[in-house]
Every structure is written in C-alpha cells, then in structure tokens.
Structure 1
C-alpha cells in the first residue's frame, strides 16, 4: 500500500503482527474479536472468561475435522444457566449445536408457562365437558342444598298455614272480641261482688261433675290466679263446643290440669299406667291418633304453661307466657304418645323424628297473675286454627268473657 493510502482511508489503522509464533489452530485475532463484538452488540455482555481462547468458536468448529477441541461451549452454557433472567435454547435445526440466547427477559416463570401453553394447537388441550364441571360443583354442596330444601318446604307449609289463618281471622275476629251485653256485664258483676256465703255453688257441670262455688269463681277477677276447677270446667266447655260444630273447629283433645302431673310425677317418675285408662275408646269415642292437636296444661308450682302434641305436623310445641322452656315436657309427651298409640291403635310411631318447638312468637304476659288466662286463650285460639292475635290488654275482657261462658255453661 502506498504512502497516499491514509488520505483515502482516514480510519484505516496499521496492524502490527506479533513476531511470536501463533498457535496451531488460531485463525487470527480478527475473527476472535469480531465474534466478541457481535455477541456484545446483538446478545449480551459476556463475562471475562468468554474472552479466553477456550471460547474460540472457530476452534470448536475445527474439532469437527478430527482436531482436538476445547471447552468453550461448556463454559458458555454453564455461565448462561446461572442467569435466571435469560432463556437458553439450542439451535438443533441448524445442526450446529450452538447456543443462542432469547432476548426476552422473564420476570415470572408462570408467565413463560402460560405463553408456552398458548402456542400449542387447540386440539392438544384436553378440555373437561361443562356438564361435568357443573355436576362436580353441585355435588360439593349436596348436604347444604338438602338442608335448604327442607327449610324451604317447612317455610312454605308455615306460610300456607298463615294464609289460612289470616283468612280465618278476617271471618272470626269480630266474634273473638265481641263485647259483653249490658245484661251479661251485670250478671258477671253480681257474681264477683254480691254478698252471700262463699261456699254457695254457682255452677254445676254434670257430665264432668265439676262444680264452681262462689269462692272458686273469684279467681276470674282481675289480679287473681286461676284455679284447677275453673280451668278444667272451661276445657270441658271447649270439648262440647267442638262436638256442636265439628266443621268449624279442629279435632282436638283437652287433657285436664291433673294429667301431666299424674303422668310425669308418679312414684317412679314417668308412669304411663296411671293415665292409661283416661283415653279409652269407650270413654272418648275416638282415639288420640285421630286428633289434630292434643292440649296438655302444665303447672309449674305457681305458673301455668301449655304443651301441644301436634299430630298433624308431628311436632311438640311448648308455650310459656313468660317466654321460658322446659325440654323435659316434650320428652315425656313423646314417650307417652308412642305408648298410647301402640296400646290403643296397635300402631308404631317414631317420635324421634318429630320436632321440638319452643313457640316464641306468642303474646306474653306483663304481670304476675295472668298466666292461667293466657294458657286458656292459647288453647282457645289454637283449637280454632287461628294465630294468637291478642295481647296483655285483652286479659281483663277475656276474664269477664270466660266468667260469662262458665255461668252459661257454653263456650262461644
């Protein structure tokens, strides 16, 4: 090259070759330098180890012709594997076995998996039929769905009863709270306040042989506790009312105030034999299994409560005007009704599946003496199939009405 060459090639630099002998398989520093520059520009910044002659790719290629090879490729592969943010693949299609580096940086391995799945042909993905997914999701909630279904059925039946009751209330409400006439008011007032011996018999009910003296009758006055005689006579009148108009009232049985104490408080506790003869077909004309409801007055020393064996709905209901609950009462009655039906009707009923219900949405007394009156009106309204649509403010009226019905020996 002439001396004028630099004028035409200003960037051309003169290369001074080393006088030392070159390695046998070295193809010149230019090829090695270009490879390093190419990797720097296009792929990544290589580590210092890659600058050694062991990384000479030409040396690797020369090994294909039977010449000794080095570990340049192994060095590079080991280094790349340590980098977690790069994806290394082998160019097997080219047949060179050379590594190349994907330029994408991967921050989340889950993303790489999803991208790899996305490029698969659609027929490779095994799909689960929709009906199987829906079935599996449904079977997980089978027990809960069954509970909801039972509850819905119960609520529907309860709503149906309420609708029937609401209709009946509209028809009979006026009669339930019909005011006493002036004559009836005077008759009740005279019995409450007239002079005369307290032992004088005011009423005698011959079918039950219950008599009410003037002294016993005074319990119907305000602020007094009802006694057994008045309660039992009124229950006898309710029985007769049902016989007179069977289509108007539910078929019920009314136990007197002595029944539960006789049944549950015998010498050895529970004693069915002591009340076994109380319900013979000859005496009643029917069997308890034929009834819709069976009323059982429960006396708690100085407090009256009511238990109902609801044969139609298979429940044991407990009504307490003070909002209390005695779980022993339903258990005793469950045992009783099983033995009673077996003895009188020769049938077996499983009361273990019956519901025990504390009826808490009921009118409650606001004083300490109206529990007996509340119990009688619970029985009166339930025997009509009506909801308990009364309250504490009606108790004075109900006392006078009950007194009038007892004096007339007829329950309206």
Structure 2
C-alpha cells in the first residue's frame, strides 16, 4: 500500500498543470536519434522543449521530478496516415470531412483537379478519436485526403488538442480505387497527373484546364516545398509513380506499397520512403499479389526508410500501429528500425523532424513512458507528456470501461459519471 501511495504521489507531481518544466529520471531512453538507447538516463524538459538528455542531470529549483524506475521512455509515436480529426463514424457521411468528391465528364475522365483543397480546415481537435490514439502512446499523425487523383492537402497534426498543422502535406492517389475518375484505365491516371503538373508550370494556361488558378498555385507550392504522399500498391504503378515524379520534379513517399519490396533498389536510389502495413501479407486484390510479411525487412536491407500505416480502420485503430511495427520486427526488421518507423522516419519523411520524432535537445517534449517493450502488444503507455505537460491517458472508451466496472449505485450505470 505504501508503494502505491508513493507512486500516486509521483504521478500527481508529474500531472501538475504547470509541468512544462520537468526532470524525468532513471529511464531507459530510446532517443530514436544518434545517441541511441541510454539506460539509467534522465531527460530535462524546460518550457516544453527538451533541454538535456544524459545521466545524473540536475534541474533548476522548483522543477517537477518523475522517477521512471528504469522503464522505457520513447518519443511520442506516429499514429499513421489516417483521418483522425476528420471523421468520427466512417459509415456516417455527416461525420466525415476527409475527401472532396469531384465529378467526371462524358468521357469518364475527371473534369477538374483541386489540389488546393485543404482538409485540415475541417480538423476537429476535440474528436473522440484523438484521446483513443493518445492512450496508445500516439502523439502525431498525418491527416490524409484521398478523394481524387490529386485529392489536395492534409497535414501533420500533433494530437495535443491544437488545430494548426505542423506542416501541410499534399497527396496523390493511384490505382483501382480511382478508375471511375480516369476512364477505367490507370494509364489515364498518370496522363492526367502529368498534364496537371505541366499545366501548373505554364505562365498562361490553355483552354483545356485541369486546374483552377488556386490549384496551380497550390500545386507549384507543394512541388517546391513538400513531399507528396502517393497512395499506391502495385509494383507497376509504383514504378510509373517514380517515373512521373522524376518528370514532374517532385519528391514522393509511397503509402501502402504492398509490392514495394519488388522495387527496393529503385526506391532506395530515389530516396523514396515507404509507409506500409506489415500485416499486409495476402493477395487481397490484384494490386497486392506479391504482398509479403517481409516487405519492411527487405526494403530496409536495401536502404529504404520504412514507416508504418494501419491498412484496416486506420483512424479508429491507430493504436495498433505498434503491433504492426512489432510484426515487422518479428519478420526480420531490426528492432531499432521498427521504433524509428514509429518516430524519426515519419517525422523526417513528413518534414517535421526539427520538432518531433526523437528525444533530442531542442525538440518538443512529446514523451511516453511504457510498462515494457513499446513494440510488444502486452506493453502499455504508463504516462505521457505533450510539450512537457502530462496528459491523462483517458478516453471515452476508458471512461465507459470504468463506469461499467464500478459497483452499481442508486442510479442506472448510464446515468453515472
């Protein structure tokens, strides 16, 4: 009982509303950076930023202190490419703001593309999905849009209750899901995309316009400043995506990539990262005939930067990304690369590694303390700090659990807090 009281006392200190200044002591710190893993190490947080990482650190007077007891401490994890904050119930259209649906003409080809569409304007920082992801140790996400060939922009969102993206992220979507917009052929998808990038560069567009003036500006800006995330799975489509990227002069990352391992050397040479689902190991469609549970390991051995997505119910089950990374490790990916795929790799690929994705001096202090190996499904997040502020690991799901596990009261459980 005394040990439990002492632990609760430490948690009370850690969860102080003013704990942006904090010293976490005696942790196994997985920095996801050049320092690697440091056992028995400390992390000093000042003004919401990481001020020092090392052993036997001292802190200014009045700084809250938390003893990690040697447990693993990681950066806040990546929640994948999903629609967190843009949807509540996937099957209820009135709660989904992720995709802009565009009409096609008599030819079956899409009439206009709208790369200026910015889905983050509909982002809801009070979404019930955000606390669910945080309970799983997730602190940032790539919010996506996937409505057309050039579906517009999503963004990298910290899951801290804020509403401004760290960075906006443009998307491209290729494959069988877009055949209705491309005259029933993938060849037209690449034709339309290349025409759009060429049109954006024209000083005065011609009569056959795929883009609005705002779309041309958005596409040119994205091409100069951002990496396009390309939803694509089939080997032939990935190869053509690489060719299109070279022709258009854009940087890309592959999202999905079920058959990406077949092009591992080409992807490595082009420095194209891949976001994949390591549980995707069956020929579920004609775009996934060569799906393999060793996809991540083979790509990594070739020098490709590998991160992860949840290909099944990505928004509501973002917490399963740890399991997906763990399965990649079980099938040949080094453990350190598995953790990097949830931290530093997506941060670099998405252009936000100056702020999140690793435990380094100057980075935002988004930190998670684990009961055990963070890539084991039996481990759970024990404590979380976002910008140095302790964040209760509570969601609607945990509240419902606690309500119905508690002893019955005078009122029906549905009326209890």
TM-score (norm 2): 0.25
TM-score (norm 1): 0.26
Higher-helix-fraction structure = 1
